[in-house]
Chain A
Amino acid sequence: MVDFIRTRDQQAFSLARFAMENNVDRTEIKKLSTLARIEISDATIDEVTNSITDILSLVDQLQAVDTTGVEPMAHPLDAVQRLRTDIVSESNQRESFQTIAPMTEDGLYLVPKVID
């Protein structure tokens, strides 16, 4: 009998959502939707706000951890970047790329007028 399987770690999985004070509000969601350029309709904004608040409470468990002196980890492997030799290896494929483009003219991609 592998009895350790019976050793339940009650504390390790306190999956209950942390009820932290970190509620995002509609204004904040609007701001995020502008930053991310994603239209959120008025009809769904409350639902989006609630679900994001929910997720953030899950994520807020991180705040309880002492990470003093811990180096942030951006990559799973401690590898370093390889560099490429400076050679032109690509040829013109404009036609093939632009057959799948929504709107082009004279080889240019077209977008509604850009105002600097």
Chain B
Amino acid sequence: MHAKTIAELSHDLQSKKVSSLELTQYFLDRINRLDSRYNSFITVTEDQALAQAKLADAQIQQGNSSPLCGIPIAHKDIFCTDGVRTSCGSKMLDNFIPPYNATIVDNYLQAGTVTLGKLNMDEFAMGSSNETSFYGAVKNPWDINCVPGGSSGGSAAAVAAHLTPAATATDTGGSIRQPASLCGLTGLKPTYGRVSRWGMIAFASSLDQAGTITKTAEDSAIMLNAMASFDSKDSTSIDQAVPDYRADLNNSLAGMKIGIPKEYFSEGLNPETEARVESAIKEYEKMGCVIKEISLPHTHLAVPAYYVIAPAECSANLSRFDGVRYGYRCSDPKDLDDLYRRSRGEAFGEEVKRRILIGAYALSAGYYDAYYRKAQQVRRLIKQDFVTAFNDVDVIMGPTATSPAFEFGSKSNDPVAMYLEDIYTIATNLAGLPALSIPCGMVNNKPVGLQIIGNFFAESKLLNAAHQFQQATDHHSMAAPDID
């Protein structure tokens, strides 16, 4: 049962083959039995889940045919959940129980989902390996000596280990797509503004976007249908109707123009990863797509621009964690300054501190123009590259990550090496574009992801392209070893 997709489980629920309560209990049992191996959950909300499942069963009895009604899911621990600890992977919020829900949490409750718990992540979503979590590293179910990717490592590992059929996640520089790639899953980052940021703990506000990690593109469509909404509480939410993302899944891809940016196939890309991506593109060619080389000439500047903009925004976003109104407070502060310095010094991890300091540096007097302003100008050049490219092509394809999952500790002491992990994913966050990663083969028994980038609000097209690939191939149905 755990190998099934949301679409399949939904069918079973609607046809009363299984109840939501049974399904929920089943996944709770799996979590209890297996998660000590992966460390993907920070909090399991068993009682709440069972209560929600009973409610969902009653709704199904009454004829609720929503495809998510009764489906268990789990949320990245960055989304505030009313009455349930929301840690953001940090000691700072280890004791933080918000009295409100994130909009997307409400949206899923509205759709009838059951919340199994809260998923592990890099601290404040800063990391690409899930090694910065206060709650310990998450293991990749494909190889427990390897990282699951980050920052949504818990979301990816939990879905890959079949501990939950689907998970929510967030993507600021690749934090959905890279772990999806490393764990053999479908990870979707929607257009900036498509999904509400209310109640999602901010890392870098102009880059953060919520999305999903699922087994298939069809499940992504089902999940996005509930997640996407216009939210008047989020000034950057876009007031645009939410289409049915399943509607276009079965469209033919014949004639679809696919752009392949030459800059995404350069030095630094693992040759075997490249080979898998290459054969995936050939698969698209077989489906009648037109492949076209394109250039995104400012690609090499995406990581540098990102590591000015994201730290600058985070340095201000994380100032609210000061030990005064909630969260960690150091013991016996000798004065106000000591309260601030020690509360923040003791509760933030090294990577978070590093980024706050870089952000403070980039914004400080005398450096603003050279760093922050410059990065924002480069950001426009990067966006312009995409705008130009989408004049000629429908979607852009390339690798999601430079290589398959790497071993613990191999990059954690070298921040720059870690930052370059997101080299193919970061530009889309800077531009605000939707993108997804789907599995496209294996290297050394570890999954490799194909990234598909779309134009603004072209999620339907992305999901269509991904779904058609998954109809023609079976990379997505490979399961990690030893999860039964």
Contact = CB atoms under 8 A, between A and B. Distances in A.
A70 B371 CA distance: 14
Contacts of A87: none
Given A9-B263, A37-B322, A65-B301, A55 B378 contact: no
**Chain B contact residues (Cβ within 8 angstroms of A): what range?**
35 or more
B308 A62 contact: yes
B345 A111 contact: no
A71 B374 CA distance: 10
Interface string B428-457: 001111000000000000000000000010
Contacts of B353: 38, 40, 48
A38 B344 contact: yes
A43 interface: no
B401 to A, nearest CB: 14
B37 interface: no
A5 B232 CA distance: 44
Interface residue SS majority, chain B: helix
Residue with the greatest number of chain B CB neighbours at <10 A, chosen from A7, A70, A103: A70
Interface in A11-52: 12-15, 17, 24, 28-29, 32-33, 35-41, 44, 48, 51-52
Interface in B357-381: 357-358, 360-362, 364, 370-371, 373-381
5 contacts: A48-B357, A59-B371, A62-B308, A72-B380, A102-B325
Interface of A: 2, 4-5, 7-10, 12-15, 17, 24, 28-29, 32-33, 35-41, 44, 48, 51-52, 54-56, 58-63, 65, 67, 70-77, 79, 81-82, 84, 93, 96-97, 100-103, 109, 111-115
Interface of B: 95-99, 192-193, 206-207, 232, 235-236, 238-239, 260, 262-263, 265-268, 274, 278, 281-282, 285, 291, 293, 297-301, 303-305, 307-308, 315, 319, 322-327, 329, 333-342, 344-346, 348, 350, 353-354, 356-358, 360-362, 364, 370-371, 373-381, 383, 415-416, 419-420, 423, 430-433, 456
10 closest A-B pairs by beta carbon, nearest first, are A76-B432, A39-B345, A72-B376, A4-B293, A67-B377, A37-B340, A102-B329, A73-B380, A70-B377, A39-B341
